Amino acid sequence: MILVTGATGFIGSALVWELNQRGRTDLLVSDHIEPKDRSDHLRKRTFKDFVPADHLTSHLSTVAKDLEAVFHMGACSSTTEKNAEYLRKNNTEYTRHLFEFCTKHQIPFQYASSGAVYGDGSQGFCDRTDPESFTPLNLYGKSKLDFDIWALKQESHPPHWQGLRFFNVYGPNEYHKGPMASVAFKAFQQIEETGQLRLFKSHNANYEDGKQLRDFVYVKDITRWMVEIYESKGGIRNGIYNQGFGKARTWLDLAQAVFSSLGQKLKIEWIDVPVDIRDQYQYFTEANMEKAFAEGLSQPQWSLEKGVADYVENYLVQSDPYL
């Protein structure tokens, strides 16, 4: 049996889809949000049981002997969350508890870290760099970095464990995320409603408007990689791994992909970056994927154009947009 936490969230529910696609239905799923309250995310999925996140720790001891892997995707993923104690409990301490459980029972463990740990990128975006050199720009990133640092120091650990630093993930099942949803999804909504897309101007002389760069990665690459890592049975070594496409693309590239998928011409309205976030605004992120690929992880299968086309044509414009 496989445990997936955060199973009614974006990447968690997509992982349940991926596992179902591979014939795995012996799944224990958990989240703070029950399936009945976010019913669409797991409506078409098959799993053995659901356990509320608040009850998971007490439930684990009863199923430990049956668990073959734990995928911990549950977390507060809001980059604007200001409650440090809430983030510490949900993103750091809860992950530590699961790490220690998997250590005790020798169960493979993967958890969601984040590209947010790299802060402004001044130290690069390499997963081989000492994490203590990074300064995240927000409390969310700090909560993820704190756990990465702790995990790397542990002499006792699960037999196989990986922390996955997700970059700009987009794709089906992210619809509940509101302000934290991908720009791909927000672009689709804006274009459908207004026929145009609002993008931030550049306030950096080194970048033209719309030429700000991000590492966009399709959720179907992410979930495939997670299963690949698990199925390698230690072939991919323990540690922290970036999870991005590995090639930064511009906001205009993303915009063009969405407009093209809708059969429309590019139409952009340029707006200023709000003054209160202008100093923290990032102009470049790009996952260094050399370590992951050297360990045997497959190359991404979904280019930005291919991923956006699949997302728009097979999900967003459909009456049922869910995996």
Asked, for residue 139, whether it belongs to a domain, the answer is: yes
Residue 56 placed within a domain: yes
Q: How high is the pLDDT of residue 121?
A: 92
What domain count does the chain have?
1
**What pLDDT, on a 0 to 100 scale, did the predictor assign at position 281?**
85
Give the pLDDT of residue 128: 98
Owning domain of residue 106: 2-170+216-246+286-302
Q: What is the predicted pLDDT for the residue at 203?
A: 94
Element (H, E) at 50: strand 49-52
39 residue type, one letter:
S
What integer pLDDT is reported at residue 75 of this predicted model? 82
pTM, whole model, 2 decimals? 0.96
Half-sphere exposure of 233 (CA within 13 A, CB side): 1
Length of the chain: 323
158 within domain boundaries: yes
Give the whole-angstrom CA distance, residue 265 versus residue 126. 37
Q: Which of 73, 52, 67 is nearest to 102 (CA)?
A: 67
Q: Residue 127: which CATH number?
A: 3.40.50.720
Q: Is residue 89 in some structural domain?
A: yes
Residue 160 covered by a domain: yes
From 94, 111, 118, 140, the catalytic residue: 140
Do residues 76 and 55 make contact, with C-beta atoms less than 8 angstroms apart?
A: no
Non-local (6+) Cβ contacts of 16 within 8 A are 4, 7, 27, 29, 42, 45, 47
Residue 209 belongs to a domain: no
In a domain, 76, yes or no: yes
Selected catalytic residue, list 175, 177, 201, 283: 177
Phi-psi region of 126 (alpha: psi -120 to 50; beta: other; left: phi over 0): beta
The runs of H, that is alpha helices, within the chain are 10-21, 53-63, 84-87, 94-105, 139-152, 183-194, 219-231, 251-261, 275-278, 290-294, 304-311
- CA–CA separation, 62 and 292 (whole Å): 34
Residue 177: active-site member = yes
For residues 317 and 323, what is the distance between their CA atoms, to the nearest angstrom? 13
Q: What is the mean pLDDT of each run of 10 residues along the chain (323 residues)?
A: 97 99 98 81 96 93 96 84 83 93 98 95 96 92 95 98 98 95 97 97 95 98 98 95 98 98 97 87 95 98 99 98 97
Task: Examine the residue annotation and report whether 175 is marked as an active-site residue of this protein.
Answer: no
Identify which of 270, 271, 273 has the alpha carbon closest to the alpha carbon of residue 281: 273
pLDDT, residue 76, reads 76
Assigned domain for 55 exists: yes
